[in-house]
Amino acid sequence: MKKNKNYIVWTRCAIVFLLFLSAALSSCSNDDLQAKNFSADVLKLTLSSTDMVLDQSMFQQKFSFKWSTGDNKGTGASISYKLEIDKKENNFANAVEYDFGKNRYDFDINVATLNSILLTTFNGEAGKAIALQARITATFGDKGVAPQTSVVDFNLTPYKPLSTELFMVGDASPNGWDITKASALTAQTANPVVFVYSGQLSKGKFKFAVNTDSCFCQDFYTKDGADAGKLVYNSGGSGSDLQWEITKAGLYKITVNILKLTIVIEEQSSPAFTQLWIVGDASPSGWNIDTPEAFTVTDNPFIFTYEATLIPGNFKILAGAKGNWCGEWFRPLVNNQVLTETGVAQNSGCDVDNSWQVTTQTAGRYKITLDISTNVIKITPVEVYLIGSATPNGWNMGSLLPMTKNGSVYTYSGPLTAGEFKFTKYNTNWCEGTEITAVSANQAITNTNFTIRDKCDGDDNKWVVSAAQAGNHTITLDLSTNVLTIN
């Protein structure tokens, strides 16, 4: 069919117009297009509460800030937002600031984090309300539109944070009345105010400290005289020093809730599993389920440890019979779990087959500690330290500088003076971990044979550097091959 000439010309013009319109629209950012809808919106900030008493039980709750878009005066300009929080008397001179950029209209802050800000940044006191102000400021991509603000007054009352650590001390506990070595309870990931201890207890008494400082004038949790299932919080060691008593030595599980001030003491039978193995291509076992490498049972039969160099890949922990892929396992809560998470689940079968993931960035030497009574795992990088009078670290346990590490290889290059030294894998308090010591007393540095000493059990042998040998040396320790060189 023959087309009309004018029709063809009109069609071409229409196409050109549409292409031009498309290009014009594409030249505008999404922010600008969205901003055109904001042209009549008054900026207004609202809070989840304007008068709130915070409490430790709110650790999973959020405090919310929300705001409307603001008015760009019909320019189509993008809008960026900044939130400020300060004491009312400061007029935002010492504000905590959050810059959100564009397309953000709400902000949630964890109550525990908010409480910390109130106590530290604003010097608040637990139990006393603080008069505060929050201000949202909108600035515009078109500088011809002046910034807009909305301010809300509100009051928050902070609380005194409960301890994040809890320790058992007493002659019923594994380390007796030596508070510097008090046994740590494990905080539960899902509820950090709940602490659990599982292990051996002797006949005797115990109470709970909030740290391992040597002074018994610190804060303690002791027994309520009216109810043995209740705790009493004694600040600075004040109050009646009543303790719980174990009348029959054995395995026990103790569950303490420091928010509700409750304690449950349960006598336990043997652990459900007496052996664990690591399986996965990230581990030395590979995916060999028949002869995997085993964990070591500690003096607490519920706690297992394993140390190895982990490479990029995945792993999980076998708990049942070897050779059964759908047997009993300890697996992380999600697949490809990062090594810093502490949650773990014990399950069987193949339906849920989560594993931990080691990346190129996280590969290295690790110690894995799994408490099967609490289902808490800790995967911590292994550090090695030189310690002794011959080293720059001296005998200053707690402030040691680590050796340089590359995978399983640890290196020190520098001066050694006349004196003695050994190696340690911990940097806390004496006898709290593993040491690498010489096999004989006053061992020459030309003899690189060594042995392992755990928690000060065994001979405390050192290498000796003579005056003639003093000077710069390179020490290399490979924990995978167990080879030490001293040059």
Residue 442: exposed, middle, or buried by beta-carbon count in 10 A (0-12, 13-18, 19+)? exposed
Residues 374, 196: Cα–Cα separation, whole Å: 7
pTM over 0.75: no
Backbone angles phi, psi at 27, to 5 degrees: -75, -15
Start-end of H helices in 85-165: 111-120
Q: What is the pLDDT of residue 237?
A: 63
Q: What is the pLDDT of residue 238?
A: 60
Short-list 453, 444, 401, CA closest to 421:
444
- The two structure tokens encoding residue 283: 């581990």
Residues 110, 124: Cα–Cα separation, whole Å: 17
Report the mean per-residue pLDDT for the chain. 90
pLDDT at 358 over 80: yes
Short-list 478, 289, 286, CA closest to 384:
478
Q: What is the mean pLDDT of residues 409-427?
A: 98
User: Which of 129-133, 184-188, 423-427, 455-459 has the least mean pLDDT?
Assistant: 184-188
End-to-end CA distance of the chain: 96
**Residues 6 or more apart whose Cβ sits within 8 Å of residue 374:** 186, 188, 196, 198
Q: Which of 13-27, 197-211, 275-289 has the highest mean pLDDT?
A: 275-289
Give the Å distances, CA to CA, from 412 to 192, 194, 416, 463.
39, 42, 10, 15
**90-136 pLDDT, tens digit each:** 999 999 999 999 999 999 999 989 999 999 999 999 999 999 999 99
> How many residues does the structure list for the chain?
487
pLDDT at 303 over 50: yes
**479, 365 Cβ separation under 8 angstroms:** yes
Residue 237: exposed, middle, or buried by beta-carbon count in 10 A (0-12, 13-18, 19+)? middle
Residues 114, 156: Cα–Cα separation, whole Å: 10
Per-position DSSP letters for 403-448, written without gaps between them: PEEETTEEEEEEEE-SEEEEEES--SSTTSSEEEEESSTTEETT--
Residues 294, 350: Cα–Cα separation, whole Å: 21
Percent of the chain whose pLDDT exceeds 90: 76
Residues 416, 391: Cα–Cα separation, whole Å: 5
For the beta carbon of residue 1, count every other beta carbon within 10 angstroms.
2
Backbone angles phi, psi at 249, to 5 degrees: -65, 145
Short-list 273, 271, 269, CA closest to 329:
273
For the beta carbon of residue 454, count every other beta carbon within 10 angstroms.
14
How would residue 39 be classed by pLDDT, with cut points 50, 70 and 90? low
Per-position DSSP letters for 247-281, written without gaps between them: -S-EEEEEEEETTTTEEEEEE--S-S-S--EEEBT
How would residue 297 be classed by pLDDT, with cut points 50, 70 and 90? very high
Strand segments (E) across 16-61:
45-47, 51-53
3-state secondary structure of 236: helix
Q: Residues 186-224, buried b or exposed e (16+ Cβ, 10 A)?
A: bbbbeebbbbbbbbbbeebbbbbbbebeeeeebebbbbb
pLDDT at 299 over 50: yes
Q: What is the mean pLDDT of residues 468-484?
A: 97
